[in-house]
């Protein structure tokens, strides 16, 4: 998902248009400064520190990766929930795997050097433990409504686990606002502008098309969203991975040197050589860690909202499945993207790679005939998947605040916002959305840290005691 450190080049790549003079320029400047402050080193340290703390507090749950993968594709019809575990995973990945996975990694490489790829990868490894804890608490504190739907997420963990309903309300407000920004208007804008530049289609036509396609999905609720995501996410991810593999085959003689360069430049300030803005260890760490943190959303609190709807016997089973989302997003896709980019740098040293977007376009252009269309298709599908995934996050947040009676109104407003996002300048929306995402993370991290003992107890009960097949207590109806 695109955030501060990854959307800088993304805005140039996907949102390039004639500048529009906005009367709200001072407001835009305020949110730009606020975004830079919120996503500065304190937030990076807080997120990474939480990843490290939970990794050791929960005895390295990453060891159970293959168990989580196995559970994610295993049906459990006897378990309570609205969607299958794979459906919940696919929906979370739909919102997480975005255009930032393509252009954002290139930005990190351009600004931090090849070593940023290793730092990004390591952040994904440790982030799996945070995603594990988020999924566990989401199921642990979820509620069942009178009509049988499952609701959960950080707001319920804050209210039911810590008695901090006020903080849960704040999280829900920030999530609802973020859904109209990073999960709606900016993605629609990216799709419209890319389609216009690539195929010459007017933005308003693309806007209407995106609205129609989104409406066909989200008006059916979480079950319809999960059904589409279970088909779309594996397809788009597989196609993108195959494209990356094709590039690596073309650059086959540079793959091993690229791996060596990534490792060496992560710890050696002179290994990256010239041509990069951040050919230092500090810059490589900064942009690599930031890219990893923001790519997989571990700690931001969005993914547990859909994890709570999963059909699962106990919290730990879904926690293991949730942790695989970070693995697929960062450990696989972002790392593969980074390797493609660095091998291309070595294969074509005569090209200047100061712009991450240009670096991505050059790498994919090396695939004969289909390279450029493949990149365009990847960006379009990644952006659309983010839209439908975030629509559920926002709707769940509004439900927490106002109840189910607001569902139809929220969906209509979301769809209308997609159209306007396709045709207007969005600089201020980018900055506001970045701020909302940061403000989402803070209450979620509070819940994770203060409830880490509960996560450890549940893990001991089901995982450390080899009782993954045990069923949890029946979820009580929402009061």
Contacts of 313 (CB under 8 A, 6+ apart): 76, 78, 79, 468, 469, 470, 471, 472
Q: Are 370 and 356 in contact (CB under 8 A)?
A: no
Quote the Cα angle for 33-281-438, to 5°: 30
Contacts of 341 (CB under 8 A, 6+ apart): 105, 106, 109, 117, 359, 360, 363
Rounded Cα gap, residues 380 and 98, in angstroms: 9
Straight-line distance from the first to the last Cα atom of the chain, in angstroms, rounded to the nearest whole number: 34
pLDDT in tens, 41-83: 888 889 899 999 999 999 999 999 999 999 999 877 678 888 8
Instruction: State the greatest distance between any 2 C-alpha atoms of the chain, in Å, as a whole number.
Output: 65
The answer on pLDDT for 18 being more than 60 is no
pLDDT in tens, 304-336: 999 999 999 999 999 999 999 999 998 899 889
Q: Are 118 and 269 in contact (CB under 8 A)?
A: no
Quote the Cα angle for 12-17-20, to 5°: 115
Q: Are 131 and 336 in contact (CB under 8 A)?
A: no
Rounded Cα gap, residues 229 and 83, in angstroms: 11
Rounded Cα gap, residues 325 and 98, in angstroms: 13
User: Which residues are registered as beta bridge partners of 143?
Assistant: 151
| H or E element, residue 151 | strand 150-151
Grouping H, G, I as helix, E, B as strand and the rest as coil, residue 312 is strand
Q: Which residue has the higher pLDDT, 300 or 101?
A: 300
Rounded Cα gap, residues 247 and 336, in angstroms: 10
Cβ neighbour number for residue 57 with a 10 Å cutoff: 18
Token pair, residue 380, equals 């379009």
pLDDT in tens, 246-260: 999 999 999 999 999
Give the pLDDT band (50/70/90) at residue 6: very low
Helix axis angle, 103-112 relative to 335-347, nearest 10°? 60
Instruction: Characterize 58-91 residue by residue with b for buried, 16 or more Cβ atoms within 10 angstroms of its Cβ, and e for exposed.
Output: beebbebbebbbebbeeebeebbbbbbbbbbbbb
Does domain 39-462 match CATH 1.20.970.10?
A: no
| H or E element, residue 144 | strand 143-144
Phi, psi at residue 468, to the nearest 5°? Answer: -65, -20
Token pair, residue 377, equals 């298709």
Give the pLDDT band (50/70/90) at residue 399: very high
Q: Which residue has the higher pLDDT, 282 or 459?
A: 459
pLDDT of residue 65: 96
């Amino acid at each position: 998902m695109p955030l501060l450190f990854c959307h800088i080049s993304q805005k140039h790549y996907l949102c390039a248009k004639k500048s529009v003079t906005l009367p709200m320029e001072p407001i835009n400047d305020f949110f730009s400064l606020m975004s830079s402050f919120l996503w500065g080193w304190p937030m990076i340290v807080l997120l990474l520190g939480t990843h490290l703390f939970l990794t050791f507090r929960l005895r390295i749950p990453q060891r159970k990766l293959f168990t989580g993968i196995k559970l994610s594709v295993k049906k459990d019809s006897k378990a309570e929930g609205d969607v299958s575990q794979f459906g919940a995973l696919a929906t979370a990945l739909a919102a997480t795997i975005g255009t930032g996975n393509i252009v954002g990694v290139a930005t990190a490489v351009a600004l931090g050097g090849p070593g940023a790829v290793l730092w990004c990868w390591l952040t994904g490894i440790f982030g799996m433990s945070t995603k594990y804890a988020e999924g566990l608490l989401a199921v642990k504190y979820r509620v069942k409504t009178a009509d049988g739907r499952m609701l959960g997420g950080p707001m319920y963990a804050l209210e039911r686990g810590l008695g901090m309903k006020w903080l849960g309300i704040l999280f829900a407000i920030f999530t609802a606002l973020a859904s109209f920004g990073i999960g709606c208007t900016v993605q629609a804008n990216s799709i419209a502008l890319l389609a216009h530049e690539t195929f010459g289609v007017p933005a308003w036509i693309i806007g209407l098309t995106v609205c129609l396609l989104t409406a066909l999905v989200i008006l059916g609720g979480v079950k319809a969203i999960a059904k589409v995501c279970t088909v779309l996410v594996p397809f788009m991810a597989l196609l993108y991975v195959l494209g990356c593999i094709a590039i690596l085959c073309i650059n086959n003689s540079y793959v091993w040197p690229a791996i060596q360069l990534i490792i060496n430049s992560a710890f050696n300030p002179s290994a990256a050589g010239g041509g990069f803005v951040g050919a230092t260890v500090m810059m490589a760490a900064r942009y690599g860690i930031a890219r990893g943190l923001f790519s997989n959303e571990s700690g931001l609190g969005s993914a547990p909202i859909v994890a709570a709807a999963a059909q699962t016997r106990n919290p730990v089973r879904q926690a293991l499945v949730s942790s695989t989302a970070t693995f697929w997003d960062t450990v696989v896709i972002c790392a593969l993207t980074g390797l493609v980019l660095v091998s291309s740098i070595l294969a074509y040293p005569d090209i200047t790679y100061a712009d991450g977007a240009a670096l991505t376009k050059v790498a994919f252009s090396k695939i004969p005939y289909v390279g450029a269309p493949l990149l365009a298709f990847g960006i379009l599908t990644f952006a659309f998947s983010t839209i439908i995934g975030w629509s559920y996050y926002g709707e769940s947040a509004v439900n927490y605040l106002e109840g189910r009676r607001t569902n139809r109104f929220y969906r209509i407003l979301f769809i209308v916002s997609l159209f306007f996002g396709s045709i207007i300048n969005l600089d201020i929306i980018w900055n506001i959305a970045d701020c909302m995402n940061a403000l989402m993370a803070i209450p979620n991290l509070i819940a994770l840290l203060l409830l880490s003992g509960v996560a450890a107890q549940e893990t001991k009960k089901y995982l450390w005691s080899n009782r993954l097949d045990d069923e949890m207590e029946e979820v009580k109806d929402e009061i």
